[in-house]
Amino acid sequence: MILTPEGNRFAEATEVAVTGGSGFVGSHLVRALHKRGQKVVVVDLSAPRPDILDLPGVRYAKADQRDFGDVLLALQGTDTVFHLAGNASGTVSVERPRFDFEVNAVGTSNVGNASVLLGVRKLVYLSSAIVYGTPQDTPMTEHHPTRPFLPYGASKLSGELALRSLHDTLGLPVIIGRSFVVYGPGEDPRRAGGEVSQFLRWQLNGLPIPLIGDRDRKTRDFIHVSDLCQAMITLAEAGTDGEIYNLGSGHEVSMRELADAVAEATGRPALLEADVNSLEDSFRLVADVSKLRGLGFTPEYDLASGLRDLAAHLGRHPELPSVTAVFRKTPVTGASAAAAHATTAAEVTAC
């Protein structure tokens, strides 16, 4: 991580807002900002855990990002905003695409417009590598074509475009970070689809590890949540307004290699059971992070140390993953469709 330069605007922030600060990544970011001595407001539809609210200088502002008035009120008094709130599940986006678009695209537009009206000095938006779609080149630079194949990718890209248009026309000081596959303590096994946490949870329970796809062709770039938070802080400190940065480790890991690393971290062999009937996401999703490293960022965790840390956090018999990957779904009608559009606070808080 880079040192904060003297006179840096982010270092001088009177209060920093984290939308989605009650979620997995958001709660880690709130702690990281607090550790730096920042005053933080958690902007979310659901309240953060008591241990976060008990931190000196951290307060909570309830807001649904789909409601512009809510967002405007919640962001008042803040001069730096980290926008993480939204739906982070590709499965949810397939099952409920309208909800996904309202939360991710409309919600992000609301945050951007409120930031313009309030004169926010820096907005960092956490987007996703899923906006690239199926990789055409590996590793992927920020100039890789954006052709998302999931509604989630389309909604995140729509949010990017809304913010960049506000930058170009109204001078919104926004920086966009495209996150690759995040892992670390605090993921909800009922919602998180990342392979690291899932593999460890199956392994720690002494069970075979199920995999959808090809164990060698399916590769990913995994970044520890603490490193992701430091990368976002680096963007606020040193990133260029209007620019996009890949947020990953830059290291390619196949599912076979991940299983081997899980075995090493837990001290016993891992049995990987691959179902190759679906190969839709058996591609190489790996970041070129040269641009991020150019800002002086260096990750703290490699995969081995991140796995050991997470295994110790999860304990001997953690809750098993229950989220499933859905790439296509038969449309539903009538009462079933209405039920599918019901919204809970937990779904709006994704990151």
> Closest Cα to residue 140, out of 21, 334, 285, 322?
285
d(CA 65, CA 260): 41
Domain ranges of the chain: 16-183+224-249+344-348
Could you report the per-residue pLDDT of 206-231, keeping only the tens digit for each?
A: 999 999 999 999 999 999 999 999 99
Lowest-confidence pick of 10-14, 17-21, 321-325: 10-14
In which residue are the tokens 């405007």 written?
72
pLDDT of residue 192: 80
Mean pLDDT calculated for residue range 93-101: 96
pLDDT of residue 280: 86
Other residues' Cβ atoms within 10 Å of the Cβ of residue 143? 10
Mean pLDDT calculated for residue range 252-269: 98
Could you report the per-residue pLDDT of 262-292, keeping only the tens digit for each?
A: 999 999 999 999 988 888 889 999 999 999 9
Beta strands, E only, the chain: 16-19, 40-44, 58-62, 80-83, 122-128, 174-179, 181-183, 209-212, 219-220, 222-224, 244-247, 253-254, 272-275, 284-285
Which one of 3.40.50.720, 3.50.50.60, 3.30.960.10, 3.40.1190.20 gives the CATH number of domain 16-183+224-249+344-348? 3.40.50.720
Please say if the pLDDT value at position 259 is more than 90: yes
pTM for the full predicted model? 0.91
Mean pLDDT, the chain, integer: 91
- Give the phi and the psi of residue 174 in degrees, each rounded to 5: -110, 145
- Give the phi and the psi of residue 208 in degrees, each rounded to 5: -60, 150
Could you report the per-residue pLDDT of 111-169, keeping only the tens digit for each?
A: 999 999 999 999 999 999 999 999 999 999 999 999 999 999 999 999 999 999 999 99
Mean pLDDT calculated for residue range 320-339: 63
For the annotated catalytic residues, the residue numbers are 152
Please say if the pLDDT value at position 107 is more than 60: yes
Would you say the C-alpha torsion 193, 195, 201, 207 has a positive or negative sign? positive
pLDDT bin (cut points 50, 70, 90) of residue 323 is: confident
d(CA 234, CA 237): 5
With a pLDDT cut of 70, the percent of the chain lying above it is 89
DSSP 8-state assignment for residue 102: I
pLDDT of residue 347: 54
pLDDT bin (cut points 50, 70, 90) of residue 1 is: very low
Mean pLDDT calculated for residue range 34-42: 97
pLDDT of residue 338: 44
Comparing 347 with 277, the larger pLDDT belongs to: 277
